[in-house]
Amino acid sequence: MKVYSTKQRKSLSDYLLSHRDEEMTAAEIAAALRGEGISLSAVYRNLASLEEEGLVQRITRAGDRKIFFRFSGAEECREHIHLRCRKCGKTFHMDAGTTDLLDETVAENCGFKMDRAETVINGVCGDCEKAEQTSKK
């Protein structure tokens, strides 16, 4: 499929790049870009195209019917496993040393090669864990 470089696509790509470690719905993205004249249908159309190109990942969460999108086209995203907090939704990169160790361990023990860019580990981030512990006191 031919990819056209439009003003809408550029605005969407720039927005996703500046929010690369966030997961957002198409509606949230459209709301953020409303001032640039980008409709919800244009956001969906461009997200589908970016997903086909491997630049955006479609994400679902257990117990939630919403579909989220995360930009994965940045070079640093391709070599890292992503950690996602199920409380606040923040996504961040596992450090390189830990990523390498996990990758090697899985390969040795399971005979399985992980796709780092596609791998997401769900849990609770330190900030949310700390806030939870504080609220229990």
User: Which is higher by pLDDT, 40 or 17?
Assistant: 40
Q: Which of 14, 17, 12 is nearest to 28 (CA)?
A: 12
Query: Which pLDDT tens digit goes with each residue over 83-104?
Result: 888 888 788 888 889 989 999 9
Query: Which pLDDT tens digit goes with each residue over 54-86?
Result: 888 888 877 888 998 888 765 556 677 888 888
The pLDDT assigned to 77 comes to 61
In this prediction the pTM is: 0.64
Listing DSSP states for 22-53 in one string gives --B-HHHHHHHTGGGT--HHHHHHHHHHHHHT
Sorted by where each starts, the structural domains of the chain and their CATH numbers stand as 1-74 (1.10.10.10), 79-137 (3.30.1490.190)
Mean pLDDT of 46-50: 92
Q: Please check the confidence at residue 40 and state whether its pLDDT lies above 90.
A: yes
**Pair 120, 91: CB distance under 8 Å:** yes
Q: Please check the confidence at residue 1 and state whether its pLDDT lies above 60.
A: no
